[in-house]
Chain A
Amino acid sequence: MRHIILLQLENESGALSRVAGLFSARGFNIESLTVAPTNDKSLSRMTIVSIGDDDIIEQIIKQLNKLVDVVKVTNLTATDHIERELALVKVDVNSNYQSKIDKYIDKYNGKIVDVKEGICTVEIVGKSQKVNDFLAAIDVIKILEVSRTGVTGVCQKREY
């Protein structure tokens, strides 16, 4: 099953490699991993999506907790949460695809962020499933490139 794990650890050099190293050393799978500075400068915040059965996810959480720098690990999937991911999709609109893609952009609430030399760049934001659905829907059109941020998320509760 797919799990979203929220990780908060001390913002020290090498924090990312400790986490990435743990996953590779123990053979855990990473579907996506996002990390960027937040309002709390002392913490490095990562959102990791991993796929595994319950035993594996339990081990992942335990092993992450064991890292000395880790302040908090939350399995977002197990609680009320919001997840979002952004994708930039570059499509070929040289032929008569423009009208077709417009239909899907409307349906999936996407946004055209750039049109240049027959290339259209679409921004799509939502749960990963929505991004997947959009990409499947526009499969008839020539997709030149897709770049996804990976999932980021927050827990909906005040205390967690």
Chain B
Amino acid sequence: MKLNGAQILINCLQKEGVSHIFGYPGGAVLHIYDALSACDDITHILVRHEQGAVHGADGYARVSGKCGVALVTSGPGVTNAVTGIATAYMDSIPIVVISGQVSSTVIGNDAFQEVDAIGITRSCVKHNFLVKDINDLVNVVKKAFYIAMTGRPGPVLIDITKDATIAKIEFNEYPGSINVRSYKPEIKVEMSQIDKAVELIIQSKKPVIYSGGGSVIGNAYKTLRTFTRNANFPITQTLMGLGAYPATDRQSLGMLGMHGTYEANMTMHYSDCIIAVGVRFDDRITGNLDKFCPYAKIIHIDIDPSSIGKTISVDVAIIGQVNDILSALTQALKDKKLTNIDKWWKQINKWRAVDSLAYKTKDGVIKPQSVIEALYEVTKGEAIVTSDVGQHQMWAAQYYLFDKPRRWINSGGLGTMGFGLPAAMGAKIAMPDMDVACVTGEGSIQMMLQELSTMLQYNTPVKIINLNNGYLGMVRQWQEFFYNKRYSMSYMDALPDFVKLAESYGHMGIKVEKEVDLMPALVEAFKRKDRTVFVDILTDPSENVFPMIPSGAGHHEMLLSGHNDMVSTNDDGLNLV
């Protein structure tokens, strides 16, 4: 049967098992929307801004492990989508973004709503395709999903010209598999590297496992748990890795890095053998590279060869699926005798006793940390928590103890304010039976507020936990520490009444000004299973995120809670920001 390009596209998406598309129509994609209207298998979520569409698809993908799909029009449609695409790229999230393009006959003529989508997105996609000929469409769609989901996952953009959606050809079948000569994501684990790693591991007196987003994305949580428990090694996780290993477990040291726990960072600093699993030695983790882990041999496990040796040179690199490698290591260690590390654990427990996440309460003000603790209590630690970017993000990561993977959803790499709300919407769509909370601040939430409207239309009840301190808190914290308390442009005056705002969007709003009202408000919010509730909580504007490794410092040079003085750092340090 002859079908037009738009119908073929929708057919292909159905065959890929796509059940939800987040999108926004426009001239160049009208044919696609026409074809979509005739398709009952795919639910389209009409967002209010294309950035929200991509974040929605991204949140959906992070929670479900499936590929997210977004559909936008040409020109401003795709430029609005770019922030979302870059966010997914930095965190290796599989999404396929389909963008309309002007007709191939007018490309390059500065046509209405024309933009070079391929050029603009090139540096923030895993790959992108321009489809000008309908005959290429089917293979491109197949390739796009294959590339997005395999190897180190990432966003793929398909830019389709309007005439390619209109042209008709015979459509028979969608290929079951595809072979791309230049792209071979299957990597066989080199056993010789496993042997080298085993040698280091059995000799180690002060080992530590440092696990990241790769353990979550690579679905390696079971093998990670087995490996860690069998070895009885301490484990610390990155912002992106939280939940792969249970935070409440005895062996868990919490998060490491700039706002990591004292025990995690000290353990890293004094370790003699670091087993780095699905991580990329990001600057927020390492701090000053010259001071990073001076005593350790490093074993680096990752699927992306370019992650190896990028910022840190390592002793043993093992490339491949994290899951395969951890299985192989576990197997290889089975009949080996590990060095006794009781003394190491004793030392770690001393660091733990410092209780670096302790904070002082103050009468009359709500501490932001206590809000996250209350949220944890009310949801019994079982909610999906998305966040925006800033202080609230760090507090959520520190105080909500994630015991399961794919529950903590945040923009770690790009640090995109505005991510939290649409990501929560996407998460709720993927997991309708779970509680979803969006931890945010009054700065971040205002970047994607319009999606409250989408959330009413598609009935995606989410609890918005707004830590409202009137400041762009993380900026204010840095200005306090490093810029002599010159609070330049970090105070937000003229905030809206968030309760009324939520109500005007058809949702429920609750304002919390006193500590005593906090718990009842959260209980009330989570009781309303079918409503989106905006809980606006006025928190202590002077609170800072601790512990903190100031820029330029090493893991052993953390600032602990209660530190109120200027921090000495030099320009080299501030350059690392």
Return the chain B residue nearest A42 by Cβ. B181
Contact in complex: B306, A66 (CB < 8 Å): yes
Contact in complex: B130, A59 (CB < 8 Å): no
Return the chain A residue nearest B119 by Cβ. A17
Contact in complex: B183, A68 (CB < 8 Å): yes
B394 at the interface (CB under 8 A from A): no
Interchain CB contact (< 8 A) of A14 among B118, B123, B181, B313: B118
Contact in complex: A69, B313 (CB < 8 Å): no
Contact in complex: B305, A65 (CB < 8 Å): yes
**Given the complex of chains A and B, what is the CA–CA distance between A98 and B241 in angstroms?**
72
Chain A residues with CB under 8 Å of B350's CB are none
CB neighbors of B among A12-45 (8 A): 13-14, 17-18, 21, 25
Contact in complex: B123, A9 (CB < 8 Å): no
Return the chain A residue nearest B126 by Cβ. A68
Q: What 0/1 readout, one digit per residue, does chain B (446-459) give for beta carbons within 8 Å of chain A?
A: 00000000000000
Given A55-B309, A55-B313, residue A9 in contact with residue B304 (CB < 8 A): no
**Given the complex of chains A and B, what is the CA–CA distance between A69 and B119 in angstroms?**
15
> What is the number of contacts between chain A and chain B, taking CB atoms within 8 Å?
40
Given A14-B118, A25-B123, A68-B126, residue A63 in contact with residue B306 (CB < 8 A): yes
CB neighbors of B among A140-160 (8 A): none
CB neighbors of A among B96-145 (8 A): 118-119, 122-123, 126-127, 130
Contact in complex: B183, A59 (CB < 8 Å): no
**Given the complex of chains A and B, what is the CA–CA distance between A21 and B118 in angstroms?**
12
Contact in complex: A59, B118 (CB < 8 Å): no
A58 at the interface (CB under 8 A from B): yes
Chain B residues with CB under 8 Å of A13's CB are 130
Chain B residues with CB under 8 Å of A59's CB are 306, 309-310
A92 at the interface (CB under 8 A from B): no
Contact in complex: B122, A18 (CB < 8 Å): yes
Contact in complex: A71, B181 (CB < 8 Å): yes
Contact in complex: B306, A17 (CB < 8 Å): no
A2 at the interface (CB under 8 A from B): no
Return the chain A residue nearest B127 by Cβ. A68
Return the chain B residue nearest A14 by Cβ. B118
Chain B residues with CB under 8 Å of A122's CB are none
**Given the complex of chains A and B, what is the CA–CA distance between A21 and B308 in angstroms?**
22
Contact in complex: A17, B130 (CB < 8 Å): no
**Given the complex of chains A and B, what is the CA–CA distance between A128 and B118 in angstroms?**
35
**Given the complex of chains A and B, what is the CA–CA distance between A121 and B31 in angstroms?**
58
Given A13-B130, A17-B119, residue A71 in contact with residue B310 (CB < 8 A): no
Shortest distance between the CB of B144 and any CB in chain A (Å)? 10
Given A59-B310, A62-B306, A66-B306, residue A21 in contact with residue B180 (CB < 8 A): no
A10 at the interface (CB under 8 A from B): yes
Return the chain A residue nearest B313 by Cβ. A55
Chain B residues with CB under 8 Å of A18's CB are 122
**Given the complex of chains A and B, what is the CA–CA distance between A146 and B54 in angstroms?**
50
Contact in complex: B182, A69 (CB < 8 Å): yes
Given A55-B309, A58-B309, A62-B306, residue A68 in contact with residue B147 (CB < 8 A): yes
A70 at the interface (CB under 8 A from B): yes
Chain A residues with CB under 8 Å of B147's CB are 68
**Given the complex of chains A and B, what is the CA–CA distance between A21 and B124 in angstroms?**
11
Return the chain A residue nearest B304 by Cβ. A66
Shortest distance between the CB of B309 and any CB in chain A (Å)? 6
Contact in complex: B306, A68 (CB < 8 Å): no
Return the chain A residue nearest B152 by Cβ. A66
**Given the complex of chains A and B, what is the CA–CA distance between A65 and B147 in angstroms?**
14
Chain B residues with CB under 8 Å of A62's CB are 305-306, 308
Chain B residues with CB under 8 Å of A65's CB are 305-306
Q: What 0/1 readout, one digit per residue, does chain A (78-115) give for beta carbons within 8 Å of chain B?
A: 00000000000000000000000000000000000000
**Given the complex of chains A and B, what is the CA–CA distance between A25 and B89 in angstroms?**
15
Shortest distance between the CB of B313 and any CB in chain A (Å)? 7
Highest count of chain B CB atoms <10 Å: which of A10, A58, A66:
A66
**Given the complex of chains A and B, what is the CA–CA distance between A63 and B308 in angstroms?**
11
Chain A residues with CB under 8 Å of B181's CB are 10, 71
Contact in complex: A71, B306 (CB < 8 Å): no
Contact in complex: B122, A17 (CB < 8 Å): yes
**Given the complex of chains A and B, what is the CA–CA distance between A63 and B306 in angstroms?**
6
CB neighbors of A among B167-181 (8 A): 180-181
Interchain CB contact (< 8 A) of A21 among B122, B306, B310: B122
**Given the complex of chains A and B, what is the CA–CA distance between A25 and B124 in angstroms?**
10
Chain A residues with CB under 8 Å of B119's CB are 14, 17
**Given the complex of chains A and B, what is the CA–CA distance between A115 and B308 in angstroms?**
55
Shortest distance between the CB of A90 and any CB in chain B (Å)? 35
Return the chain A residue nearest B132 by Cβ. A13
**Given the complex of chains A and B, what is the CA–CA distance between A8 and B16 in angstroms?**
31
Chain B residues with CB under 8 Å of A71's CB are 181-182
Chain B residues with CB under 8 Å of A58's CB are 309
Return the chain B residue nearest A71 by Cβ. B182
Chain B residues with CB under 8 Å of A17's CB are 119, 122
CB neighbors of B among A48-70 (8 A): 55, 58-59, 62-63, 65-66, 68-70
**Given the complex of chains A and B, what is the CA–CA distance between A66 and B182 in angstroms?**
10
Chain A residues with CB under 8 Å of B118's CB are 14
**Given the complex of chains A and B, what is the CA–CA distance between A2 and B82 in angstroms?**
36
Return the chain A residue nearest B308 by Cβ. A62
Contact in complex: B123, A21 (CB < 8 Å): yes
Shortest distance between the CB of B150 and any CB in chain A (Å)? 11
Chain A residues with CB under 8 Å of B130's CB are 13-14
**Given the complex of chains A and B, what is the CA–CA distance between A139 and B180 in angstroms?**
51
Return the chain B residue nearest A60 by Cβ. B306
**Given the complex of chains A and B, what is the CA–CA distance between A63 and B181 in angstroms?**
17
* Given A55-B309, A59-B310, A68-B182, 17 other A-B residues pairs in contact with their CB atoms under 8 A: A10-B181, A13-B130, A14-B118, A14-B130, A17-B122, A18-B122, A58-B309, A59-B309, A62-B305, A65-B305, A68-B126, A68-B127, A68-B147, A68-B180, A68-B183, A69-B182, A71-B181
Interface residues of A (CB under 8 A from B): 9-10, 13-14, 17-18, 21, 25, 55, 58-59, 62-63, 65-66, 68-71
Q: List 17 A-B contacts (CB under 8 A).
A: A10-B182, A14-B118, A14-B122, A18-B122, A21-B122, A25-B123, A59-B306, A59-B309, A59-B310, A62-B305, A62-B306, A66-B304, A66-B305, A68-B126, A68-B147, A68-B180, A68-B182
Interface residues of B (CB under 8 A from A): 118-119, 122-123, 126-127, 130, 147, 180-183, 304-306, 308-310, 313
The 7 A-B residue pairs with the shortest CB-CB distance, nearest first, are: A62-B306, A68-B127, A71-B182, A25-B123, A68-B183, A62-B305, A66-B306
